[in-house]
Amino acid sequence: MAAPLNNLRILDMSRVLAGPWAGQLLGDFGADVIKVERPVCGDDTRSWGPPWLEGEELESGYFLSANRNKRSVTVDISVSAGQTIIQDLARQSDVLLENFKAGTMARFGLGPEKLLELNPELIYCSISAYGQASSRADEPGYDAMIQASAGLMSITGPAPNEPGGPQKVGVAISDIMAGMYATTAILAALNARSISGRGQHIDIPLYDSQVAWLANQNMNYLLGGKVPERMGTAHPNLVPYQVFQTGDSELMLAVGNDRQFTSCCEVLGLADLATDTRFTTMRQRIANRDELIGQLEIKFRERDTNYWLDSLLSQGVPAGPVNDIGEVLTDSYAQEKCLVREIRNGKDIRVPSVANPVSFSETPVCYERAPPSLGEHTVEVLRECLGYSDAKIETLKNEKVI
């Protein structure tokens, strides 16, 4: 059966990560994603190496992580002929995705008002630091500064009384989550279009997205009035729920209820703690966190990680090792679930890729196109989608529009 979005065309004018991540997800679900890039240099992340794909210039690991299932077209949107190409493509597309600084697309005659006039059914999705019309719309924004200013770094890293300080997450998670919000918003807008027949403009601010997914930490503040602090690997609402040092490495314990706590205590040979009035309920364990954690830390150091994992998991207590990425991508579970896929690109080079985690029972996820080389599909798209003649395409090349 065909992939779920194989009837849709996405005009992906985004670069770096937030927009490209959304475009890749839509491509995984079968959409025809046309990635528009600057001639010569392309998406900024093409040069964000090493590592590189078998020595290929402009194909960094960073770029390859977010641009699967796309066709690359190079267009200079700063000139009128390039703007005309984008307008022509927008007429033939269901969705346009962009993450330029607010106002940039309108300056080139490619803003939502103009393109929705040309194609009233278009879903036009803009991702920017602070939205399209806020008092901070003109400010630039990158992931790390958004992690810092929108609250994430204030709750990430060692506790305030420990060495270290605020830490950012090891991937550009503000970008990734904005891309996720963009994807769900696009799908919602497409559903609305199926009812109304009209497209619309979607505004996704990185900052607002970051604030939104602070989830329980937001509510802890709104209900309790206390500003959440950094807690290392510990959890503000669950105890014991953190990393423990074992006899040979580390282990993440994730006790989520009183039954699991009782089982955990029995495995550790500390059954009396489960009936200690300081620890019998989650509320009590939170109030007496330090006393409990101190006793567990001593016990966990007595045996190695594998021993504790086998013992805890056999009793239904959630726990896991602290694996590095190499271990994650090469262990037996990764092989069983095919978490690493290989797709051959246009040069017949095998490109590794990490699988989309979604499994549909009827409509498969696509792994049809490796991330494209710069401008690989320019001629193909202009011929196929727009019906441009060979003479017109040659003129555009000579004028360096494409």
Residue 55 pLDDT more than 90? Answer: no
Chain segment 248-290, per-residue pLDDT in tens:
999 999 999 999 999 999 999 999 999 999 999 999 999 999 9
Residue 58 pLDDT more than 90? Answer: no
CATH number of 241-322: 3.30.1540.10
Residue 216 pLDDT more than 90? Answer: yes
How does residue 140 score in pLDDT terms, banded at 50, 70 and 90? confident
Determine phi and psi for 7, rounding to 5 degrees.
Answer: -95, 5
Query: Does domain 9-212+337-398 correspond to CATH entry 3.40.50.10540?
Result: yes
State the helix-helix crossing angle for 289-300 and 258-268, rounded to 10 degrees: 40
Measured between alpha carbons, how far is 39 from 25 in angstroms, rounded to an integer?
Answer: 24
Determine phi and psi for 91, rounding to 5 degrees.
Answer: -65, -30
Give a three-class secondary structure readout of the chain. CCCCCCCCEEEECCCCCHHHHHHHHHHHCCCEEEEEECCCCCCHHHHCCCCECCCCCCCEHHHHCCCCCEEEEECCCCCHHHHHHHHHHHHCCCEEEECCCCCHHHHCCCCHHHHHHHCCCCEEEEEECCCCCCCCCCCCCCHHHHHHHCCHHHHCCCCCCCCCCCCCCCCCHHHHHHHHHHHHHHHHHHHHHHHHCCCEEEEEEHHHHHHHCCHHHHHHHHHHCCCCCCCCCCCCCCCCEEEEECCCCEEEEECCCHHHHHHHHHHHCCHHHHHCCCCCCHHHHHHCHHHHHHHHHHHHCCCCHHHHHHHHHHCCCCEEECCCHHHHHHCHHHHHCCCEEEEECCCCCEEEEECCCCCCCCCCCCCCCCCCCCCCCHHHHHHHCCCCCHHHHHHHHHCCCC
pLDDT value of position 69: 98
Q: Report the length, in residues, of the chain.
A: 402
Average per-residue pLDDT for the chain: 96
Which residues, 6+ apart, have CB-to-CB distance to 377 below 8 Å? 34, 71, 72, 73
319-321 β-sheet, strand order: 241-245, 250-254, 319-321
Q: What pTM value is reported for the model?
A: 0.94
Measured between alpha carbons, how far is 316 from 309 in angstroms, rounded to an integer?
Answer: 10
Residue 56 pLDDT more than 90? Answer: no
Residue 203 pLDDT more than 80? Answer: yes
Provide mean pLDDT across the span 160-168: 93
How does residue 141 score in pLDDT terms, banded at 50, 70 and 90? confident
**Residues with catalytic function:** 175
pLDDT value of position 193: 98
Chain segment 282-326, per-residue pLDDT in tens:
999 999 999 999 999 999 999 999 999 999 999 999 999 999 999
Report domain extents, the chain.
Answer: 9-212+337-398, 241-322
Residue 171 pLDDT more than 90? Answer: yes
Chain segment 79-138, per-residue pLDDT in tens:
999 999 999 999 999 999 999 999 999 999 999 999 999 999 999 999 999 999 999 999
Chain segment 217-242, per-residue pLDDT in tens:
999 999 999 999 999 999 999 999 99
Residue 57 pLDDT more than 90? Answer: no
pLDDT value of position 189: 98
Considering the chain, what percentage of its residues have pLDDT values greater than 90? 96
Contact between 29 and 5 under an 8 Å Cβ cutoff? The reply is yes
Provide mean pLDDT across the span 203-222: 97
User: Tokens standing for 375?
Assistant: 């401008």
Chain segment 340-392, per-residue pLDDT in tens:
999 999 999 999 999 999 999 999 999 999 999 999 999 999 999 999 999 99
